[in-house]
Amino acid sequence: MTAAGDGGPAATLEPALDEALAQAAEAAAGVSRRPEPVAVVIFGASGDLAARKILPALATLAARQALPDGFAVVGVARSEIGDDEFRDRCMAAAGGEEANPAWTRLVRQFRYVAGDYGEDVTFATLAEVLDELDASAGTRGNRLYYLATVPSMFGRVAGGLARHGGNRPGPGGSFARLVVEKPFGTDLDSARRLDDELHQSFDEDQIFRIDHYMGKETVQNVLALRFANAIFEPIWNRRYVDHVQVTVAERLGVEHRGNFYESAGALRDIVQNHVMQVLSLTLMEPPATMEANAIRDEKVKLLRSVVVPRADQQVEHVVRAQYGAGTCGGEAVPGYREEEGVDPRSMTETYLAMNLAVDNWRWAGVPVYIRTGKRLADRVTEVTMIFQRPPHLPFAGQLTRDLRPDSLKLRIQPDEGISLCFGAKVPGPTFRVRSVSMDFSYQQAFPGGTAEAYERLLLDAMTGDAMLFIRSDEVDQAWQIVAPIQEAFAFGEPPLAHYPAGSWGPIEADRLIEATGRQWSNP
């Protein structure tokens, strides 16, 4: 099959798709890709991310027989706990001994190193422990370092590892890799400084920047939907698409993360990473192959084509807002400025809507509307592609009052799936037409459930598959899109709007899209 469209030359994808389908069939049959023997080192092992995501994901991989026989975890943190207490925490993350016998067998050889990330003795001790595990647990010199620390420690940890040879495999090993959690900097300059720090110690092909959105099945399914189905790719362009919407809505507020959110806001917390990743996968050109660099090349090319509103256009193209008190999920909730750790006079945005453009052959003239916010009416992440209306309707007026434009909706969370909305005749004597939906649900089609994002991403990092990880130039380009908006916010432009908790956002966001005769596609 060749994937052709309005956006460039066709790309032959048959071999890559055959391989991808074979891998999917193996996964469905319970056959796992087993990595080489490896020691996984978690910096920040006593923290929340390790307890909630990393250790449970590794435990699930063990239960699925996806981990190698030679496997061990080493926790590194400042907390003064020993091997036994760390092992207890690893077991608690899996639900106890009886819940996961395969994990229980592995945990017996896990180790813990207590120490400061700025002291050489910590990394010297770690090197000794890893050498011991090569002999006792059969990890064979392979290393995967996971930086689950605060971002300010990333460069320091990478440098400490390099000074003690941790940036290269141990004797007999074939790889040493570094997994870096977001955020990748706080602005363009800090992101570039962080990149320089990491590259002083590790090569780019050793660095795996993780964004958990990329591990979600529905995000990956964008590739299958576009390039494995001849009915979609030919219409995936400006000739047929009227506009694109990306929505990342959360019902929750900032909870107990007020201090963090005050320094982040919706632009940095969601748009710079999650939204840009989803947008680039959805709108990129067909890759030559399904290899990591081929896909990431196309993502970067798409991001380079995004047109950011100039400073004097920000008011017309960007809406920022903050939630006030309201009702969410049937409960009264406080406004953002009343949340714990938030400045009572805060100007931090909890909602952001933007009208962007993509200046390339495929998408020229097609508006892209983005919105994200906290304390909205529902929790949903989705991409909606609204198609152009037919040039002429022979039945008009009251007969089509319930007919909306055709649309394709990619639901990323919480109910993963795809909806195709189109017109159909209503039964009866008159030729009345209204919109109906044809739905695909992951839960119904694959009742066994899908892997949690961290499971897939950890397995990919261990096997060296970088397709779902973020390359250095991707990070840089995403920050270049966000930087002018950050600068405008610093000068108080556009003005901060407000919306009640439990709504779909401020009226200014409705005006942003309605000014062009369109409207938001709310669930």
Helix, strand, or coil (residue 52) = helix
Give the ranges where 66-214 is alpha helix by DSSP (H).
Answer: 83-93, 101-107, 120-136, 154-163, 188-199
Full pLDDT tens readout for the chain, 523 residues:
333 444 444 444 444 444 544 444 444 434 457 899 999 999 999 999 999 999 999 999 999 999 999 999 999 999 999 999 999 999 998 876 667 889 999 999 999 999 999 999 999 999 999 999 999 999 999 999 999 998 889 999 999 999 999 999 999 999 999 999 988 989 999 999 999 999 999 999 999 999 888 888 878 888 888 888 899 989 999 999 999 999 999 999 988 888 889 988 999 999 999 999 999 999 999 999 989 999 999 999 999 999 988 777 888 899 999 999 999 888 999 999 999 999 999 999 999 999 999 999 999 999 999 999 999 999 999 999 999 988 877 766 666 677 889 999 999 888 888 999 988 888 888 888 888 889 998 888 888 766 788 999 999 999 999 999 999 999 999 999 999 999 899 888 899 999 999 999 999 999 999 999 999 998 7
Contacts of 189 (CB under 8 A, 6+ apart): none
Would you tell me the crossing angle of helices 276-283 and 292-305 to the nearest 10 degrees? 100
411-434 pLDDT, tens digit each: 988 888 899 998 888 888 888 888
> Across the chain, how many H-helices and E-strands are there?
18, 20
Secondary structure (DSSP) of 429-456: SS--EEEEEEEEEHHHHSTT----HHHH
Check if the beta carbon of residue 405 is closer than 8 Å to that of residue 242.
yes
Q: What is the structure's pLDDT at 449?
A: 65
Measured distance CA(243)–CA(367) in Å, rounded: 5
Q: What is the structure's pLDDT at 431?
A: 83
Contacts of 258 (CB under 8 A, 6+ apart): 339, 340, 341, 342
Q: Using alpha carbons only, what angle is made at residue 310 by residues 250 and 236, rounded to the nearest 5 degrees? A: 60
Contacts of 401 (CB under 8 A, 6+ apart): none
Give the ranges where 258-338 is alpha helix by DSSP (H).
Answer: 258-262, 265-266, 276-283, 292-305, 314-317
Delineate the domains of the chain, giving CATH numbers in brackets.
32-181 (3.40.50.720), 216-390+448-454+473-514 (3.30.360.10)
Report which DSSP code applies to 133.
H
Check if the beta carbon of residue 78 is closer than 8 Å to that of residue 150.
no
* 176-181/8-12 β-pairing: unpaired
CA distances from 256 to 239, 262, 273, 365 (A): 47, 12, 22, 42
Check if the beta carbon of residue 145 is closer than 8 Å to that of residue 41.
yes
> What's the one-letter identity of residue 236?
W
Would you tell me the crossing angle of helices 217-227 and 276-283 to the nearest 10 degrees? 20
Q: Using alpha carbons only, what angle is made at residue 224 by residues 478 and 372, rounded to the nearest 5 degrees? A: 40
CA distances from 63 to 59, 67, 210 (A): 6, 9, 23
Tell if the pTM clears 0.75, that is, is over it. Answer: yes
Range 470-474 contact pairs with CB under 8 angstroms and sequence separation of 24 or more: 470/184, 470/209, 470/210, 470/211, 470/214, 470/273, 470/277, 471/204, 471/209, 471/293, 471/296, 471/300, 472/195, 472/199, 472/204, 472/207, 472/209, 473/300, 474/280, 474/296, 474/299, 474/300, 474/303
What is the SS3 string spanning 4-33? EECCEEEEECHHHHHHHHHHHHHHHCCCCC
Residue 14: how many other CB atoms lie within 10 Å = 9
Nearest to 243 by CA among 9, 512, 5: 512
Q: Could you tell me the end-to-end alpha-carbon distance of the chain, in angstroms, rounded to an integer?
A: 34
The enclosing H or E element of 412 equals: strand 407-413
Contacts of 88 (CB under 8 A, 6+ apart): none
Looking at 212, 274, 317, 392, which residue is catalytic?
274
Check if the beta carbon of residue 145 is closer than 8 Å to that of residue 168.
no
Report which DSSP code applies to 361.
T
Check if the beta carbon of residue 410 is closer than 8 Å to that of residue 383.
yes
Residue 274 is among the residues annotated as catalytic for this protein: yes
Q: What is the structure's pLDDT at 453?
A: 87
Nearest to 357 by CA among 319, 277, 303, 312: 303
State the maximum Cα–Cα separation within the chain, in Å, rounded to a whole number. Answer: 84
Q: What is the structure's pLDDT at 396?
A: 66
Range 134-139 contact pairs with CB under 8 angstroms and sequence separation of 24 or more: 134/39, 134/170, 134/171, 134/172, 134/173, 136/109, 137/39, 137/70, 137/71, 137/72, 137/109, 138/37, 138/69, 138/70, 139/37, 139/38, 139/39, 139/70, 139/71, 139/72
